[in-house]
Chain A
Amino acid sequence: EAQVTQNPRYLITVTGKKLTVTCSQNMNHEYMSWYRQDPGLGLRQIYYSMNVEVTDKGDVPEGYKVSRKEKRNFPLILESPSPNQTSLYFCASSFRAGNQPQHFGDGTRLSIL
């Protein structure tokens, strides 16, 4: 089954404690992306990756890091989380960049105390 898998689904943690949210897709997609969803703001892109070892900033990259060492994986790293990063996070992928629909994971709800 084609899918995008995120882990964990839920996490409550404290300010400053490094965390990683994993994302994996099994569709051999080149393009992967991270979004955060906040009430009234829709989804905003954090980082994206056009292919292995190619990543770039989206609209709200501050406080986040990503890596793309393998095609299937695109982890999101919060080196020193802060309360304003409390949000619902989605990973997505598509075959290529451009006018193609994206496949989304089920989301990760992060609470930073």
Chain B
Amino acid sequence: GNSVTQMEGPVTLSEEAFLTINCTYTATGYPSLFWYVQYPGEGLQLLLKATKADDKGSNKGFEATYRKETTSFHLEKGSVQVSDSAVYFCALSDGTSGSARQLTFGSGTQLTVLP
């Protein structure tokens, strides 16, 4: 079956530091990959996505590249801000057309950015 493995947290960084959150996956077919972000007390919001190999998703200074050869989708940001403090989830969607199960999530990584 499908699975997503994220680096364990929590991760604590100083403002303006470089961020990497590792994500690797196991899937059959050709999944789409997503990063969701969850701010305190809120639901998950889509941060970025990539639908095929070598695609790069980007949003709000965050980037992730779909690497089929290493089955990875690592999240990066060059300079984090205090407002980036949140829980980040890597997820994949089964590439089968009309797949009903949709999203398989990683366990989440808590990021805290200190001023």
Contact = CB atoms under 8 A, between A and B. Distances in A.
Interface of A: 4, 31, 33, 35, 40-45, 48, 50, 56, 58, 90, 92, 94, 96-102, 104-107
A58 B103 CA distance: 11
Interface stretch (B14-22, B36-44, B67-75): B36-44
A106 B107 contact: no
Contacts of B107: 40-42
Contacts of A90: 43-44
- Chain B interface size, as a band, is 20 to 34
Contacts, number: 68
A45 B101 CA distance: 8
A31 B51 CA distance: 19
Given A42-B106, A98-B93, A101-B34, A56 B100 contact: yes
B105 A4 contact: no
Contacts of A99: 31-32, 51, 93, 95, 99
Contacts of B28: none
B57 to A, nearest CB: 11
A107 B44 CA distance: 9
A4 B102 contact: no
Contact of B42 (A40, A48, A107): A107
A79 to B, nearest CB: 24
Residue among A58, A92, A99, A104 having the largest count of chain B Cβ atoms under 10 Å: A99
